[in-house]
Structure 1
């Protein structure tokens, strides 16, 4: 989703470290005054460039006077698209893991992440030069903050792309069971075969230089989420499944960490919000955009979770589509909708990582096109290997939600706001709230990551 918004809204600008406080200030203004490529593709160190006061004032004025071009409605569309992803398939499983009362956790996570989105807006308001999430990290904690934010964003993109392959393998294996091939003694069956096959289909799209067409296709995520919700309801109401499954629990303490992790994964779009904010014509309406986006997405997530749990109880799979009967038209609509969107989004997910790798290894691979070809192929191959070694969609999403989403969408916004605003210097009500959210986020990271890793190893 990060690369999607880089294409469809405006190219985000990123900044990098220098050695002293005065030099940081000058480098900050210089780098922010020029259009850069993706932040992952830039070097970690930039040369120090001196400016006089008039030049610095001009740069700041340019950004103060700059206006985005995106309307309120289009920003809402982009925000909903960023928040609505493959997490919709796992919310019934999250509800089954924690029981009915875990719906309270879903709403709590939604409110908390909404508040953190507003914190990101406040950080952006404090400095007109801030244009991206790594910018905020740099403003708060210097180069260390930028590097930490970049690592979390890269790793999250990588694992989400890997989860796409697992998702495709699971659902294609459900549609076409007992399919395999044998080539010169090398045999692949079922899910593993489909993971490799989908990767081969996706690979040419990763080689493309122009991702704009794919960005438009992947933007259909807004409609895909609504279509999946409608299809699941249709299966339950009119296809004989019903909503009377009695195999459900009010509360399951041992599954709470899994629920929290999966719910957190559903709201992991915060790295996109700075780009959304800077793209708006009227930035004062950004809070209203967030209200609309979080309300609509939370309604969809809660609806799918309740419908799926009512239909299948504790037997619900980590992807609700794996429970749907394949002989029904509405089920096929849901499954094929689930399959198409990740294929379009895969290249958008991994392209920032490829850009970063290309920048790191540019001295060894001077040919830009050849280096992109080699690095993208190696990256997709590594995605396939991870997907084959860890083909557990629910557990992998729990790991991403606990370790990466909770960090990037909850902990980092709170810490950055505390530092940039200076609220850490004085103890007030909001400061206590921020500290409480941060400590809770750290607890989720520790317990959720431990549980996810334990569940993954427990499957071997």
Structure 2
């Protein structure tokens, strides 16, 4: 086992700034989780809940669309993606156990590849979080337009209507939350993700029984051309690896992490599969990238599904961009001598400026690229695959290869997963970018 400290010798002075910037990533992301346990650590079942909250996200909305793109046989690929992500989650566990100093995802990068590894994974995670924030606004705009169709407002002689109007409304509601220093209360609200997922599944059952019915006609067995998008969206469903180290570090009994991850992954997978099958059986090839947009207007179950779906993005937006704002604020900090004097006067102004700038840019991009399915496909193929597959495998090999503890069969398995991940990343990213560009 590796016992060397993360920072030592000459590297320590060179890496101080990188450590300050990127150590905040996992600490701030941990605010996505409700506090659990006592000073002795979180209990097993509390951590199962936290992992379930991390894994179960907005991927629930797009998984019926993913199934429609690939056909019924693509459910086998869903099982493969789930198994791969479960295995790479176990690799993160092993990397965390390699050195007691490792407490975050960037720490794993530093242990495996030094300062460059920390910087690289921090950059990927920041881009991923920024794009997720954009997808939140697109989701809010689409679903509010579905809930309140035909709404229009005139502002300064300019008429705003539909999705663009509701993107601005959602941004106005979210903006003050980005100025807060303590986001702990929002973490509890964002934990309703499981409730939202169950409400969506129940709404689809309701819609199938009361309205459209369940049928196999209009569905396909296999669609090769849609597989890149399908695989990319399936990876979105399991994209929680960046926060796994925070859950691991919070556990009272850390050796139980693989068991907690298995239970959480199985429960979330069952909900994903049920939602995908219900959505596809009801709407067939007409299912949209957000299945809530297929639900009939004016129905009670439609309102319940949309309202519960909208709560999580409103609460999670500030939490998701917090690592980005923290990193920017670190760069904007005055010199050490002036920091103490300026802290009381400039902290709020800096937070307001940075938070507002991020909200404005995400609003612009959400309005310019209002394609939820294509954006989620791009996030899944380019970023989620990197965080959930490529980086855990490469780090595990780098940390343990020289120690000779990796058996030949496991080495072949890890290399095979790496090849699979690279293929999904390349083909999926190309396909999603081509789709986005083709819409202009």
Q: Specify if TM > 0.5.
A: yes
Does residue 184 of structure 2 align to residue 204 of structure 1?
no
For residue 162 of structure 2, what is the aligned residue in structure 1? 190
For residue 366 of structure 2, what is the aligned residue in structure 1? 387
For residue 285 of structure 1, what is the aligned residue in structure 2? 256
The 5 A counterparts of 1:398-413 are 398-413=377-392
Describe the SS at the equivalent of 1:363.
Answer: coil
Q: How many residues align?
A: 417
The 5 A counterparts of 1:153-168 are 153-168=125-140
The 5 A counterparts of 1:313-392 are 313-363=284-334, 367-392=346-371
For residue 33 of structure 2, what is the aligned residue in structure 1? none
- 2:86 pairs with 114, 117, 121, which one? 114
Kindly indicate whether the alpha-carbon contact (under 8 Å) linking 2:26 and 2:242 is maintained by their aligned counterparts in 1.
no
Aligned-pair distance for 1:16? 8.6
Kindly indicate whether the alpha-carbon contact (under 8 Å) linking 2:26 and 2:104 is maintained by their aligned counterparts in 1.
no
Task: Give unmatched runs, 5+ long, in structure 1.
Answer: 1-14, 43-66
Kindly indicate whether the alpha-carbon contact (under 8 Å) linking 2:292 and 2:305 is maintained by their aligned counterparts in 1.
yes
The 1-side partners of 2:249 and 2:90 are apart by 14
- 2:431 pairs with 442, 447, 451, which one? 451
For residue 243 of structure 1, what is the aligned residue in structure 2? 214
The 2-side partners of 1:376 and 1:16 are apart by 32
Residue range with higher mean Cα deviation, 152-161 or 304-313: 152-161
For residue 117 of structure 2, what is the aligned residue in structure 1? 145
The 1-side partners of 2:376 and 2:172 are apart by 23
Describe the SS at the equivalent of 1:317.
Answer: coil
Kindly indicate whether the alpha-carbon contact (under 8 Å) linking 1:81 and 1:222 is maintained by their aligned counterparts in 2.
yes
The 1:139–1:403 alpha-carbon spacing in structure 2 relative to 1, beyond 3 Å, is same
Kindly indicate whether the alpha-carbon contact (under 8 Å) linking 1:81 and 1:219 is maintained by their aligned counterparts in 2.
yes
Structure 1 vs Structure 2 CA RMSD: 2.6
Task: Give unmatched runs, 5+ long, in structure 2.
Answer: 29-38
The 1-side partners of 2:402 and 2:171 are apart by 47
Kindly indicate whether the alpha-carbon contact (under 8 Å) linking 2:23 and 2:106 is maintained by their aligned counterparts in 1.
no
Aligned-pair distance for 1:231? 1.7
For residue 52 of structure 1, what is the aligned residue in structure 2? none
Deviation track 1:41-68 (CA, whole Å, cap 9, x = no partner) reads 99xxxxxxxxxxxxxxxxxxxxxxxx85
Kindly indicate whether the alpha-carbon contact (under 8 Å) linking 1:247 and 1:314 is maintained by their aligned counterparts in 2.
yes
For residue 417 of structure 1, what is the aligned residue in structure 2? 396
Kindly indicate whether the alpha-carbon contact (under 8 Å) linking 1:99 and 1:251 is maintained by their aligned counterparts in 2.
yes
Kindly indicate whether the alpha-carbon contact (under 8 Å) linking 2:145 and 2:162 is maintained by their aligned counterparts in 1.
yes
The 1-side partners of 2:402 and 2:269 are apart by 30
Deviation track 1:16-49 (CA, whole Å, cap 9, x = no partner) reads 97xxx733479999x99x9x9714899xxxxxxx
The 5 A counterparts of 1:198-277 are 198-237=170-209, 239-277=210-248
The 1-side partners of 2:185 and 2:384 are apart by 28
The 2-side partners of 1:144 and 1:424 are apart by 22
Aligned-pair distance for 1:187? 2.4
Describe the SS at the equivalent of 2:10.
Answer: helix
The 2-side partners of 1:375 and 1:16 are apart by 31
Deviation track 1:352-375 (CA, whole Å, cap 9, x = no partner) reads 111111111223995121111101
Kindly indicate whether the alpha-carbon contact (under 8 Å) linking 1:84 and 1:221 is maintained by their aligned counterparts in 2.
yes
Deviation track 1:79-136 (CA, whole Å, cap 9, x = no partner) reads 0000000000000000000011111111100000000000000111111111011000
- 1:84 pairs with 56, 69, 93, which one? 56
Kindly indicate whether the alpha-carbon contact (under 8 Å) linking 1:161 and 1:346 is maintained by their aligned counterparts in 2.
yes
Aligned-pair distance for 1:157? 0.8
Aligned-pair distance for 1:424? 9.3
Aligned-pair distance for 1:301? 0.5
Aligned-pair distance for 1:316? 0.2
The 1-side partners of 2:321 and 2:273 are apart by 29
Does residue 278 of structure 2 align to residue 307 of structure 1?
yes
Deviation track 1:328-383 (CA, whole Å, cap 9, x = no partner) reads 21121111111111101111111111111111122399512111110100000001
The 1:421–1:37 alpha-carbon spacing in structure 2 relative to 1, beyond 3 Å, is closer
User: TM-score, with normalisation over the residues of structure 2?
Assistant: 0.90
Aligned-pair distance for 1:140? 0.4
Residue range with higher mean Cα deviation, 375-384 or 218-227: 218-227
Deviation track 1:367-410 (CA, whole Å, cap 9, x = no partner) reads 12111110100000001011011000000000000000000000
The 2-side partners of 1:278 and 1:185 are apart by 54
Aligned-pair distance for 1:224? 1.7
Deviation track 1:124-159 (CA, whole Å, cap 9, x = no partner) reads 111111101100000000011101110111111111
